[in-house]
Chains A and B, each alone.
Chain A
């Protein structure tokens, strides 16, 4: 059973590694589909909470995979999931870097970027929607999501500030019984 979990972590996150165009914020829906809908490792609210914790930690945003690995198989799971998420894309980056230095190819880079940026941004928007629905926080939750989105859109404030504010508002709303 344990070995099966590790194998599954490697397969799932190793594949997602190469699909993460624009970083992990593009693959939240796919991670959700895999770990909640297909593998049944957790329910949607738990997924949303792990997602929130990963957003709170410093560092690259691929750590959503790390904390899911931790949730299903502890520290070993965290290391396996993180490695599976990093290794394929890092090897591709290494090969691309060396290839570009040897052969040039800034035109290819430009065309690939032109092609991928709009897809990555559409996927990021999808990630936001899937995360919002997974949080399952009711009307107050939707209001907090929209307010945080507006603040993020309009200002360059550190993301931890609106996150702390949203959390506080939700706890207050819960304590007076409207959430």
Chain B
């Protein structure tokens, strides 16, 4: 984990630094915060180098929850402890939540109007396409082993088609995945 400490050469960011950095990430992340987060954490604020950032994201991917939220917790804690983690998560969520309240109130104001319902139905159909397209792109580029394709298919069929509850599905699939990953990793 040594490369996670690269920022030790640079001065440790202060709480206001962390706050403004993550406020910006939250505000600029229209349509996905990933690229913005990387730009601000690595290029603009120099909190981590490329390798440190990749390592951080690797850990975030292994945890439940949005990657950027996990990154906010881990960076905040590393630089400024628990208070830092809280500061980063609050800064990250503040502006998006305000925007969401604004959008929700706008929706409330027009929701009885048929045109608004129609527009949002169209938006919902597109939003579903966004997720499908992203999923297919990631699936085709992840370089999955054969067992991993089976796991992905099993998760899709169980939750997407059979509409099984998620908790028992995960309680079966995650241990199987861990076993397969351990055996696969040993072979490499």
Q: A interface vs B, CB < 8 Å?
A: 15-25, 27-30, 33, 45, 48-49, 51-63, 66-67, 70-71, 75, 78, 82, 86, 89-90, 92-94, 96-98, 100-101, 104, 106-107, 109-132, 134-137, 141-142, 144-153, 158-160, 162-163, 165-171, 174, 179
Cβ A152 vs Cβ B137 within 8 A: yes
Q: A48-B124, A63-B96 are in contact. Are A129 and B132 (CB under 8 A)?
A: yes
Question: Is B1 positioned at the interface, with any CB of A under 8 Å from its CB?
Answer: yes
CA distance A162 to B31 in the complex (A): 11
Q: B interface vs A, CB < 8 Å?
A: 1, 4, 26-33, 55, 58-70, 73-74, 77-78, 82, 85, 89, 92-93, 95-97, 99-101, 103-104, 107, 115, 117-139, 142, 144, 148-149, 151-156, 159-161, 163, 165-167, 170, 173-174, 177-178, 180-182, 184-185
5 contacts between A and B (CB under 8 A): A18-B64, A58-B33, A135-B121, A135-B128, A152-B134
Cβ A127 vs Cβ B131 within 8 A: yes
Question: What 7 pairs across the A-B complex have the smallest Cβ distances?
Answer: A59-B96, A170-B122, A152-B133, A148-B129, A126-B160, A166-B126, A89-B65
Cβ A27 vs Cβ B62 within 8 A: no
Contacting residue for B128 out of A59, A66, A113, A145, CB 8 A: A145
- Tell me whether chain A's interface is mostly helix, strand or loop, or mixed: helix
Question: How far, in Å, is B163 (CB) from chain A's closest CB?
Answer: 7
